[in-house]
């Protein structure tokens, strides 16, 4: 699954965290992390705080979705 990142200001990290914008119907860039465990932790906390869909993508694997809730 290929995605297009928006509002990305940095190239740091291997794992991209995105939040789904229900009004616009698209995924919005939140941040990147170097560790998959930290990325999934951030994704879970973000989902708990906002009740919106979140996901983690891998830059190393052509933006493959690794986790989604």
For residue 67 the two structure tokens come to: 């986790």
Helical residues (DSSP H) of the chain, grouped into ranges: 36-50
pLDDT at 13: 85
Find the helix or strand (DSSP H, E) in which 31 lies.
strand 26-33
Confidence of residue 1 (pLDDT cuts 50, 70, 90): very low
Contact in structure between 1 and 65 (CB atoms under 8 Å): yes
pLDDT of 11-66, one tens digit each? 578 999 999 999 999 999 999 999 999 999 999 999 999 999 999 999 999 999 99
């Amino acid at each position: 699954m290929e995605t297009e990142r928006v509002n990305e200001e940095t190239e740091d990290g291997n794992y991209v965290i995105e939040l789904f914008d229900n009004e616009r119907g698209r995924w919005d860039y939140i941040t990147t992390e170097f560790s998959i465990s930290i990325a999934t932790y951030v994704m879970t906390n973000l989902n708990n705080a906002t009740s919106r869909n979140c996901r983690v993508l891998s830059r190393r694997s052509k933006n493959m979705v690794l986790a989604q809730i």
